[in-house]
Amino acid sequence: MNAALELVAVFALRAIQAAVLCLPTLLSGMVVAGVLRAIVGRQNVNRWIGRGAASDLLRAWVAAFFLPVCSFGVLPIIVTLRAMGTRWGPLVVIAIAGPWITPWTLGYLIDRTGPAAFLLLLTSNAMIALAAGGIVDRLDSSATPVEGDAPDVLPTHSTLLNTLWSTAVALNRHALVLIGIGLFGVGAIAVCIPPNAVGDWLVERSVFHAGILTAIPLFTYVTPEVAAMQAGEVVRSSLMPGLIVPLIGLGATIHLGMLAGFGRAVGVRRLLPVLGVVVVVVAVWGVVTDLALYDGSYSPEDSHAFEDYGRPFHLLDHPDGRATGFFGRLRRPLGMNALTAGAAIALILAARVLIGRLNNVVPEVELAFVSPSRARLAMRIIVLMTVVLAIYTYYPPPSALKRELQAASAELSIACQTGEQVHVRRLAQQMDRRLAQFTKSAMLHGRFPTAEQRAAINDVRQYLTELMTAMDNSKDNRNAGVSFHLKIREFLRTMH
Buried b (16+ CB within 10 A) or exposed e, 95-111: bbbbbbbbbbbbbbbbb
- Given its phi and psi angles, is residue 306 left (phi above 0), alpha (psi -120 to 50 degrees) or beta? left
Which sign does the torsion angle of CA 475, 479, 485, 487 carry?
negative
The CA–CA distances, whole Å, from 336 to 19, 224, 341 equal 15, 17, 8
In the predicted model, residues of the chain with pLDDT beneath 70 are 1, 141-153, 320, 358-372, 471-481, 495-496
**Amino acid at residue number 126:** A
CA separation for the pair 290, 124 (Å, rounded): 12
The CA–CA distances, whole Å, from 152 to 148, 355, 419, 463 equal 10, 17, 71, 69
Q: What number of other Cβ atoms are within 10 A of residue 348's Cβ?
A: 20
Q: Specify whether the CB–CB gap between 74 and 99 falls below 8 A.
A: yes
CA separation for the pair 138, 143 (Å, rounded): 7
CA separation for the pair 350, 340 (Å, rounded): 15
CA separation for the pair 273, 139 (Å, rounded): 10
Q: What is the pLDDT of residue 23?
A: 95
**Amino acid at residue number 59:** R
The single-letter DSSP state of residue 312 is P
Report the chain's terminal Cα–Cα distance, integer Å.
54
Q: What is the pLDDT of residue 143?
A: 44
The single-letter DSSP state of residue 218 is G
Has this prediction a pTM greater than 0.85?
yes
CA separation for the pair 489, 282 (Å, rounded): 44
Buried b (16+ CB within 10 A) or exposed e, 309-341: bbbbeebbebeeeeeebbeebeeebeeeebeeb
Q: Specify whether the CB–CB gap between 121 and 153 falls below 8 A.
A: no
CA separation for the pair 481, 468 (Å, rounded): 11
| Residue-wise pLDDT tens digits, 224-250 | 999 998 998 899 888 999 999 999 988
Max CA-CA distance within the chain?
83
Q: Specify whether the CB–CB gap between 362 and 41 falls below 8 A.
A: no
CA separation for the pair 248, 110 (Å, rounded): 13
Find the DSSP H helices in 74-217: 74-83, 88-97, 106-113, 115-139, 159-170, 173-192, 197-202, 207-215
Q: Specify whether the CB–CB gap between 408 and 431 falls below 8 A.
A: yes
Q: Annotate 349-414 with three-state secondary structure.
A: HHHHHHHHCCCCCEECCCCCCCCHHHHHHHHHHHHHHHHHHHHHHHCCCHHHHHHHHHHHHHHHHH
Q: Specify whether the CB–CB gap between 127 and 250 falls below 8 A.
A: no
CA separation for the pair 5, 267 (Å, rounded): 37
Q: Specify whether the CB–CB gap between 449 and 442 falls below 8 A.
A: yes
Which sign does the torsion angle of CA 273, 276, 278, 281 carry?
negative
**Comparing C-alpha atoms, which of 256, 182, 196, 191 is closest to residue 10?**
191
| Residue-wise pLDDT tens digits, 120-178 | 999 999 999 999 999 988 887 554 444 444 445 677 777 888 889 899 999 999 999 99
CA separation for the pair 447, 401 (Å, rounded): 14
Buried b (16+ CB within 10 A) or exposed e, 470-482: ebeeeeebeebbb
Buried b (16+ CB within 10 A) or exposed e, 21-41: bbbbbbbbbbbbbbbbbbbbb
- Given its phi and psi angles, is residue 419 left (phi above 0), alpha (psi -120 to 50 degrees) or beta? left
The single-letter DSSP state of residue 154 is E
- The answer for residues whose C-beta is within 8 angstroms of residue 23's C-beta and 6 or more apart is 337, 338, 341, 342, 345
